[in-house]
Structure 1
Amino acid sequence: MTAKRRFTDAEVTHMRKLLAWMRTEYCLDEDMQRGALGAVKTLLDAGQITQEQAEQQVAKRADQVRQVPQYVRQAVKMLTKAVREYDGVKGAVVDVATRDVHEIE
């Protein structure tokens, strides 16, 4: 039987950077998705955007996620799991102190 290979700290750092980029670039992070939808709802409720604009933004986010092949989305989940196992704790794998805020036009 072969022993499991352990990741080095440098390898895990690279995995965290890849996860952060994938989540940000393709809106694969569930918190980001909830935040984006919450922002659309807040703008709609405040009368700052129309129902049509809100629907367009929701569709745009869904399209953005769908553009990423399913096998890549699954790989992101598995990589997240591997980093969590390395850390030995549940919770955030990629800590992001600030995020870009994009205004809805």
Structure 2
Amino acid sequence: MILTGDANIPAMPMTEAQVNHLRRLLAWLRCAYMLDEHMQRGFMQGAALSVKHGVATPERAGEILQRQADKINQVPAYVRQAHKMLSKALLDHDRAAGVVET
């Protein structure tokens, strides 16, 4: 994988070990700050199911969802954008390497 550079920083080839570190970093960001839209959707579905099954009241589920939304919104926009760009670069790298996502 090669991270593209700009006028100040040259393109940087990454070893497989560095790519794996990047994978772990992105996974941590995805879990800690729920930056992945699929995780956010799953969190909302879980809140809806907890209300449906009587485990939580609609007010309590709403409070939990709002707290999580506030946590996501506290992540700076440049971090969310970098997460998105690096995730795409990693996905492209995996496709080129023949890694199949299940």
Q: Same fold (TM over 0.5)?
A: yes
Structure with more of its chain in helix, by fraction = 2
Q: Which has the higher contact order (CA 8 A, sep 6+)?
A: 1
Secondary structure at the residue paired with 2:81? helix
- Superposed CA RMSD: 2.5
Measured against aligned partners, the alpha-carbon deviations of 1:56-76 in whole angstroms (never above 9, x if no partner) come to: 011011111101000000000
**Which of the residues 9, 13, 17 maps onto 1:10?**
17
Q: SS in structure 2 opposite 1:88?
A: helix
The secondary structure found in structure 2 opposite 1:78 is: helix
AA aligned opposite 1:76: H
Letter in 1 for 2:24: K
Contact 1:7 1:86 in 2 (8 A): no
Structure 2: runs of 5+ lacking an equivalent:
none
Amino acid at match of 2:78: Y
TM-score by length of 1: 0.76
- Structure 1 gaps of 5+ residues are 96-105
Which residue of 20, 26, 31 corresponds with 2:27? 20
Residue 82 of structure 2 corresponds to which residue in structure 1?
75
TM, length-normalised to structure 2: 0.78
Shift of 1:82: 1.2
- Give the CA deviation at 1:87: 1.2
Q: Give aligned-pair identity as a percent.
A: 41
Matched positions, count: 92
Distance 2:11 2:59 in 1: 52
The answer for the alignment partner of 2:60 in structure 1 is: 53
Distance in 2 (CA, whole Å) between partners of 1:51 and 1:4 is 50
